[in-house]
Amino acid sequence: MILDVNMDTFIKPFVSLNRIEFVLKKYSSEELLKSNDGAWSILQHLYHCWMVERGVLGYVELKTKDISSLETVSISTRLKFFFFFAVLRLKLLKVKAPTVVQTFPEDISVMDLLYKWGKTREEAAVFFDALPKKVSSKGIFKHVFIGRLNLKLTQKFIQWHLQHHLRLCKL
């Protein structure tokens, strides 16, 4: 069983790894690795989501080393954010993930993935909980289509991105 870190943290709104683990137990290894018509398998969707969370953390850690370079998040960025996810939800848009977060090992172990994901979430919780308020309001993460996101929008991005992929793989 995967233990979640303190739930009063950055990761609180995310689907818990315990919940994901519980749902995955309903499937055989073959079902988890099965790709339908060239689409990603369940484990590839989840591996992708972990890589995105890990990538966001790494990007923000790097960008917040020089807070003088951080920009203010504009109203138009906020509007683009909600519009982007609304259009995805309505299936009016399909976005191809960057190559770096769609390269998967041939054999994905559920327990290994959940362990790595748990470690990433622990690191994210510690890092983001210590982020000064004046920094968290700035554009700490740059989404390729939306633009610079502050801490709250970055958190929402991770939350909604995972929910989007859980819907895609019917979990």
pLDDT in tens, 31-73: 999 987 778 999 999 999 999 999 999 999 999 999 999 999 9
Residue 105: closest CA among 165, 43, 37: 43
In a domain, 119, yes or no: yes
Check residue 107 and give its pLDDT.
Answer: 87
In a domain, 2, yes or no: no
Q: What is the CATH number of the domain that holds 95?
A: 1.20.120
Check residue 106 and give its pLDDT.
Answer: 85
Examine the pLDDT at 96 and tell me if it is beyond 60.
yes
Examine the pLDDT at 3 and tell me if it is beyond 70.
no
Per-residue confidence at 91, pLDDT binned at 50, 70, 90? confident
Pick from 26-30, 89-93, 126-130, 154-158: least confident: 89-93
What total of structural domains would you count in the chain? Answer: 1
Q: How far apart are CA 121 and CA 116, in angstroms?
A: 9
Token pair listed for 105: 């090992």
Which SS3 state, helix, strand or coil, does residue 104 take? coil
In a domain, 7, yes or no: no
In a domain, 127, yes or no: yes
In a domain, 1, yes or no: no
In a domain, 9, yes or no: no
Per-residue confidence at 97, pLDDT binned at 50, 70, 90? confident
CB 139 within 8 A of CB 150: yes
Token pair listed for 113: 């993935």
Q: How far apart are CA 124 and CA 157, in angstroms?
A: 14
